[in-house]
Amino acid sequence: MTPVPIRPRSSPTRPSRLRSSRPGALRRWTTAFAASAMALSVIVVSATVAIPSASAGPQQHQSLRASQPAPATQPVASPGRSSAVTAAAPGARRAALAAAVRRRAEALIASAQRLVTRLAEAVGGSATVTGSDRAELQAAIAAATSEMVALDAKVSTDTTLAQLRSDLDSFVADRIYAVVAVKTYLVLAADTEAAVERKALRLEAVAQKVIQAAATRGVDVTAAEAALAGLDAQVRAAQSATSGVAQAVLAVVPAGYPGNRDVLAGARSELVSARGDLRSARAELGTIVRSLHL
Protein backbone atom coordinates (compact mmCIF):
# COMPACT_ATOMS: atom_id res chain seq x y z
CA MET A 1 0.00 0.00 0.00
CA THR A 2 1.25 3.38 -0.94
CA PRO A 3 1.53 5.50 2.18
CA VAL A 4 -0.61 8.58 2.18
CA PRO A 5 1.49 11.64 2.75
CA ILE A 6 0.61 13.51 5.85
CA ARG A 7 -0.12 17.12 5.20
CA PRO A 8 0.73 19.60 7.85
CA ARG A 9 -2.32 21.10 9.44
CA SER A 10 -2.98 24.57 8.22
CA SER A 11 -2.87 27.11 10.98
CA PRO A 12 -5.74 29.55 11.23
CA THR A 13 -5.26 32.94 9.73
CA ARG A 14 -3.85 35.26 12.33
CA PRO A 15 -5.14 38.76 12.60
CA SER A 16 -2.78 41.59 11.96
CA ARG A 17 -0.29 42.49 14.65
CA LEU A 18 -2.03 45.80 15.15
CA ARG A 19 -5.43 44.23 15.55
CA SER A 20 -4.28 41.52 17.93
CA SER A 21 -1.85 43.37 20.15
CA ARG A 22 -2.80 47.01 20.19
CA PRO A 23 -6.22 46.71 21.88
CA GLY A 24 -4.70 44.42 24.49
CA ALA A 25 -1.87 46.85 25.01
CA LEU A 26 -4.38 49.67 25.32
CA ARG A 27 -6.33 47.78 27.97
CA ARG A 28 -3.13 47.03 29.88
CA TRP A 29 -2.08 50.65 29.68
CA THR A 30 -5.55 51.68 30.86
CA THR A 31 -5.21 49.52 33.95
CA ALA A 32 -1.71 50.80 34.66
CA PHE A 33 -2.80 54.37 34.10
CA ALA A 34 -5.70 54.02 36.52
CA ALA A 35 -3.45 52.44 39.15
CA SER A 36 -0.89 55.22 38.76
CA ALA A 37 -3.57 57.88 39.06
CA MET A 38 -4.84 56.25 42.24
CA ALA A 39 -1.35 56.17 43.76
CA LEU A 40 -0.94 59.76 42.72
CA SER A 41 -4.14 60.75 44.53
CA VAL A 42 -2.93 59.15 47.75
CA ILE A 43 0.43 60.92 47.65
CA VAL A 44 -1.03 64.33 46.83
CA VAL A 45 -3.57 64.00 49.64
CA SER A 46 -0.68 63.23 52.00
CA ALA A 47 1.06 66.40 50.88
CA THR A 48 -2.13 68.39 51.28
CA VAL A 49 -2.61 67.23 54.85
CA ALA A 50 1.04 67.90 55.75
CA ILE A 51 0.97 71.66 55.23
CA PRO A 52 -1.63 72.51 57.91
CA SER A 53 0.27 70.41 60.45
CA ALA A 54 3.35 72.51 59.88
CA SER A 55 2.35 75.03 62.53
CA ALA A 56 1.64 72.46 65.26
CA GLY A 57 5.19 72.41 66.63
CA PRO A 58 5.65 76.21 66.86
CA GLN A 59 2.19 76.69 68.41
CA GLN A 60 2.84 74.13 71.10
CA HIS A 61 6.22 75.69 71.75
CA GLN A 62 4.78 79.19 72.09
CA SER A 63 2.20 77.95 74.58
CA LEU A 64 5.05 76.69 76.73
CA ARG A 65 6.93 79.97 76.45
CA ALA A 66 3.82 81.81 77.63
CA SER A 67 4.11 80.09 80.97
CA GLN A 68 5.63 81.86 83.93
CA PRO A 69 9.33 82.54 83.21
CA ALA A 70 12.06 81.35 85.50
CA PRO A 71 15.58 82.60 86.07
CA ALA A 72 18.12 81.13 83.66
CA THR A 73 20.25 79.86 86.50
CA GLN A 74 17.52 77.86 88.20
CA PRO A 75 18.56 74.18 88.05
CA VAL A 76 16.09 71.55 86.86
CA ALA A 77 14.99 69.18 89.57
CA SER A 78 16.11 65.61 89.04
CA PRO A 79 14.78 62.43 90.69
CA GLY A 80 17.85 62.29 92.92
CA ARG A 81 17.36 65.74 94.46
CA SER A 82 16.02 66.15 97.93
CA SER A 83 12.34 67.04 98.06
CA ALA A 84 13.23 69.83 100.46
CA VAL A 85 15.03 71.65 97.65
CA THR A 86 11.97 71.81 95.41
CA ALA A 87 9.20 72.04 97.95
CA ALA A 88 9.47 75.73 98.70
CA ALA A 89 7.77 78.28 96.46
CA PRO A 90 8.65 79.64 93.97
CA GLY A 91 11.34 77.00 93.49
CA ALA A 92 8.76 74.22 93.30
CA ARG A 93 6.84 76.03 90.59
CA ARG A 94 9.98 76.60 88.56
CA ALA A 95 11.01 72.97 88.94
CA ALA A 96 7.56 71.77 87.87
CA LEU A 97 7.61 74.08 84.88
CA ALA A 98 11.07 72.90 83.90
CA ALA A 99 9.97 69.27 84.15
CA ALA A 100 6.97 70.02 81.94
CA VAL A 101 9.15 71.75 79.36
CA ARG A 102 11.57 68.82 79.35
CA ARG A 103 8.75 66.33 78.81
CA ARG A 104 7.32 68.42 75.98
CA ALA A 105 10.73 68.80 74.33
CA GLU A 106 11.38 65.07 74.55
CA ALA A 107 7.93 64.28 73.13
CA LEU A 108 8.34 66.70 70.22
CA ILE A 109 11.78 65.37 69.37
CA ALA A 110 10.60 61.74 69.54
CA SER A 111 7.67 62.55 67.26
CA ALA A 112 9.99 64.28 64.79
CA GLN A 113 12.35 61.32 64.82
CA ARG A 114 9.49 58.99 63.93
CA LEU A 115 8.44 61.35 61.17
CA VAL A 116 11.86 61.53 59.53
CA THR A 117 12.04 57.74 59.64
CA ARG A 118 8.76 57.55 57.72
CA LEU A 119 9.99 60.16 55.26
CA ALA A 120 13.17 58.18 54.62
CA GLU A 121 11.13 55.04 53.99
CA ALA A 122 8.81 56.88 51.60
CA VAL A 123 11.69 58.29 49.57
CA GLY A 124 13.60 55.00 49.55
CA GLY A 125 10.51 53.04 48.50
CA SER A 126 9.32 55.39 45.77
CA ALA A 127 9.44 53.96 42.27
CA THR A 128 8.84 57.29 40.55
CA VAL A 129 11.11 59.80 42.29
CA THR A 130 14.04 60.79 40.07
CA GLY A 131 17.60 59.99 41.04
CA SER A 132 18.62 63.60 41.65
CA ASP A 133 15.46 64.40 43.62
CA ARG A 134 15.91 61.27 45.71
CA ALA A 135 19.48 62.28 46.56
CA GLU A 136 18.45 65.81 47.60
CA LEU A 137 15.55 64.56 49.72
CA GLN A 138 17.69 61.92 51.40
CA ALA A 139 20.31 64.56 52.22
CA ALA A 140 17.66 66.83 53.78
CA ILE A 141 16.19 63.93 55.76
CA ALA A 142 19.63 62.80 56.93
CA ALA A 143 20.41 66.32 58.12
CA ALA A 144 17.10 66.49 60.00
CA THR A 145 17.79 63.11 61.58
CA SER A 146 21.22 64.21 62.79
CA GLU A 147 19.78 67.43 64.20
CA MET A 148 17.12 65.54 66.14
CA VAL A 149 19.63 63.06 67.56
CA ALA A 150 21.94 65.88 68.69
CA LEU A 151 19.04 67.86 70.13
CA ASP A 152 17.72 64.85 72.02
CA ALA A 153 21.12 64.31 73.59
CA LYS A 154 21.34 67.96 74.59
CA VAL A 155 17.87 68.03 76.17
CA SER A 156 18.76 65.05 78.32
CA THR A 157 21.71 66.96 79.80
CA ASP A 158 20.12 70.41 80.18
CA THR A 159 20.20 71.71 83.75
CA THR A 160 18.29 74.98 83.48
CA LEU A 161 14.94 76.07 82.15
CA ALA A 162 16.63 78.59 79.89
CA GLN A 163 18.62 75.79 78.23
CA LEU A 164 15.46 73.78 77.64
CA ARG A 165 13.71 76.76 76.12
CA SER A 166 16.70 77.37 73.89
CA ASP A 167 16.49 73.78 72.70
CA LEU A 168 12.81 74.23 71.92
CA ASP A 169 13.75 77.27 69.89
CA SER A 170 16.21 75.08 67.98
CA PHE A 171 13.53 72.47 67.37
CA VAL A 172 11.22 75.10 65.89
CA ALA A 173 14.07 76.45 63.74
CA ASP A 174 14.64 72.98 62.26
CA ARG A 175 11.10 73.09 60.78
CA ILE A 176 10.79 69.31 60.52
CA TYR A 177 7.04 69.48 60.08
CA ALA A 178 6.72 72.78 58.24
CA VAL A 179 9.47 72.30 55.67
CA VAL A 180 11.17 68.89 55.61
CA ALA A 181 8.00 66.79 55.67
CA VAL A 182 5.97 68.99 53.33
CA LYS A 183 8.90 69.31 50.95
CA THR A 184 9.32 65.54 50.80
CA TYR A 185 5.65 64.81 50.13
CA LEU A 186 5.37 67.49 47.46
CA VAL A 187 8.46 66.33 45.57
CA LEU A 188 7.25 62.72 45.66
CA ALA A 189 3.88 63.87 44.33
CA ALA A 190 5.47 65.97 41.58
CA ASP A 191 7.68 63.12 40.40
CA THR A 192 4.78 60.68 40.50
CA GLU A 193 2.65 63.01 38.42
CA ALA A 194 5.47 63.46 35.93
CA ALA A 195 5.76 59.68 35.60
CA VAL A 196 2.01 59.38 35.00
CA GLU A 197 2.19 62.13 32.39
CA ARG A 198 4.95 60.33 30.49
CA LYS A 199 2.99 57.11 30.64
CA ALA A 200 -0.12 58.90 29.39
CA LEU A 201 1.76 60.31 26.40
CA ARG A 202 2.99 56.84 25.46
CA LEU A 203 -0.54 55.56 25.85
CA GLU A 204 -1.80 58.36 23.66
CA ALA A 205 0.45 57.17 20.81
CA VAL A 206 -0.89 53.62 21.19
CA ALA A 207 -4.48 54.85 21.22
CA GLN A 208 -3.93 56.86 18.06
CA LYS A 209 -2.75 53.77 16.17
CA VAL A 210 -5.69 51.76 17.47
CA ILE A 211 -8.09 54.46 16.28
CA GLN A 212 -6.45 54.56 12.86
CA ALA A 213 -6.71 50.79 12.54
CA ALA A 214 -10.38 50.91 13.55
CA ALA A 215 -11.09 53.62 10.97
CA THR A 216 -9.49 51.46 8.29
CA ARG A 217 -11.93 48.70 9.17
CA GLY A 218 -14.83 51.10 8.73
CA VAL A 219 -15.53 51.68 12.42
CA ASP A 220 -16.98 55.05 13.39
CA VAL A 221 -14.16 56.68 15.34
CA THR A 222 -15.65 60.13 15.79
CA ALA A 223 -16.08 59.80 19.55
CA ALA A 224 -12.69 58.15 19.95
CA GLU A 225 -10.91 60.90 18.03
CA ALA A 226 -12.61 63.60 20.13
CA ALA A 227 -11.60 61.77 23.29
CA LEU A 228 -8.04 61.43 22.02
CA ALA A 229 -7.85 65.18 21.50
CA GLY A 230 -9.20 65.69 25.00
CA LEU A 231 -6.67 63.22 26.40
CA ASP A 232 -3.82 65.12 24.79
CA ALA A 233 -5.09 68.48 26.06
CA GLN A 234 -5.46 67.23 29.62
CA VAL A 235 -2.02 65.64 29.72
CA ARG A 236 -0.41 68.80 28.32
CA ALA A 237 -2.21 70.86 30.96
CA ALA A 238 -0.93 68.54 33.68
CA GLN A 239 2.61 68.83 32.35
CA SER A 240 2.35 72.60 32.36
CA ALA A 241 1.14 72.60 35.97
CA THR A 242 3.88 70.31 37.29
CA SER A 243 6.76 71.77 35.29
CA GLY A 244 9.45 73.03 37.65
CA VAL A 245 7.48 72.25 40.80
CA ALA A 246 9.97 69.73 42.22
CA GLN A 247 12.90 72.08 41.63
CA ALA A 248 11.12 74.99 43.31
CA VAL A 249 10.18 72.91 46.33
CA LEU A 250 13.65 71.44 46.75
CA ALA A 251 15.03 74.98 46.95
CA VAL A 252 12.93 75.68 50.08
CA VAL A 253 15.06 75.55 53.23
CA PRO A 254 14.05 75.74 56.91
CA ALA A 255 15.98 79.00 57.44
CA GLY A 256 13.72 80.78 54.96
CA TYR A 257 10.46 79.74 56.63
CA PRO A 258 7.82 81.15 56.95
CA GLY A 259 8.80 83.60 54.23
CA ASN A 260 8.96 80.78 51.69
CA ARG A 261 5.69 79.16 52.75
CA ASP A 262 3.99 80.55 49.65
CA VAL A 263 6.31 78.43 47.49
CA LEU A 264 5.04 75.27 49.20
CA ALA A 265 1.42 76.38 49.04
CA GLY A 266 1.75 77.30 45.36
CA ALA A 267 3.38 73.97 44.56
CA ARG A 268 0.56 72.12 46.28
CA SER A 269 -2.02 74.06 44.26
CA GLU A 270 -0.25 73.19 41.00
CA LEU A 271 -0.10 69.50 41.91
CA VAL A 272 -3.76 69.38 42.87
CA SER A 273 -4.60 71.07 39.54
CA ALA A 274 -2.50 68.55 37.64
CA ARG A 275 -4.17 65.70 39.51
CA GLY A 276 -7.54 66.96 38.23
CA ASP A 277 -6.17 67.11 34.68
CA LEU A 278 -4.92 63.53 34.93
CA ARG A 279 -8.27 62.33 36.22
CA SER A 280 -9.92 63.97 33.21
CA ALA A 281 -7.34 62.33 30.95
CA ARG A 282 -8.21 58.96 32.45
CA ALA A 283 -11.89 59.62 31.69
CA GLU A 284 -11.04 60.44 28.07
CA LEU A 285 -9.09 57.22 27.85
CA GLY A 286 -12.11 55.29 29.08
CA THR A 287 -14.21 56.93 26.35
CA ILE A 288 -11.77 55.70 23.71
CA VAL A 289 -11.90 52.15 25.02
CA ARG A 290 -15.70 52.09 25.24
CA SER A 291 -16.35 53.75 21.88
CA LEU A 292 -14.14 51.23 20.07
CA HIS A 293 -15.53 48.30 22.11
CA LEU A 294 -12.05 47.20 23.10
Would you state the pLDDT for residue 42?
A: 53
DSSP per residue, the chain: -PPPPPPPPPPPPPPPHHHHHHHHHHHHHHHHHHHHHHHHHHHHHHHHHHTGGGGHHHHHHHHHHTSPP--TTPBPP-TTS-HHHHHSTTHHHHHHHHHHHHHHHHHHHHHHHHHHHHHHHHHHH-SSS-HHHHHHHHHHHHHHHHHHHHHHHHHHH--BHHHHHHHHHHHHHH-IIIIIIHHHHHHHHHHHHHHHHHHHHHHHHHHHHHHHHHHHTT---HHHHHHHHHHHHHHHHHHHHHTTHHHHHHT--GGGTTTTHHHHHHHHHHHHHHHHHHHHHHHHHHHHHHHTT-
Whether 293 shows a pLDDT value over 90: the answer reads no
More confident residue, 90 or 48: 90
Peptide bond connecting 258 to the previous residue in cis, omega within 30 degrees of 0: yes
Count of beta carbons in the 10 Å neighbourhood of residue 63: 10
Would you state the pLDDT for residue 101?
A: 87
Residue 10 lies in a domain: no
Residue 99 lies in a domain: yes
Would you state the pLDDT for residue 26?
A: 65
Residue 48 lies in a domain: yes
Mind listing the pLDDT tens digit for each residue in 171-195? 888 899 889 999 999 999 999 999 9
Residue 240 lies in a domain: yes
When pLDDT is cut at 50, 70 and 90, the band that residue 91 belongs to is confident
Whether 253 shows a pLDDT value over 90: the answer reads yes
Residue 11 lies in a domain: no
Distance of CA 73 to the CA centre of its chain: 44
Residue 200 lies in a domain: yes
How distant, in Å, are the alpha carbons of 15, 108, 155, 261 from that of 57?
A: 64, 7, 16, 15
State the average pLDDT over residues 71-99: 58
* Across 86-90, 164-168, 187-191, least confident range: 86-90
Phi, psi of 82 (to 5 degrees): -70, 140
Mind listing the pLDDT tens digit for each residue in 18-62? 344 456 666 666 665 555 555 555 555 555 544 333 334 444 444
Q: Could you give the number of structural domains in the chain?
A: 1
Whether 287 shows a pLDDT value over 50: the answer reads yes
State the average pLDDT over residues 85-110: 78
Residue 74 lies in a domain: yes
More confident residue, 60 or 243: 243
Would you state the pLDDT for residue 118?
A: 93
Task: Note whether 28 and 205 are within 8 A (CB).
Answer: no
When pLDDT is cut at 50, 70 and 90, the band that residue 98 belongs to is confident
Mind listing the pLDDT tens digit for each residue in 210-232? 899 989 999 999 999 999 999 99
Task: Note whether 204 and 232 are within 8 A (CB).
Answer: yes
Mind listing the pLDDT tens digit for each residue in 99-158? 888 888 899 999 999 999 999 999 999 989 999 999 999 999 999 999 999 999 999 888
Would you state the pLDDT for residue 168?
A: 87
Count of beta carbons in the 10 Å neighbourhood of residue 184: 30
Residue 196 lies in a domain: yes
Q: What is the pTM of this model?
A: 0.74
Domain limits for position 45: 29-291
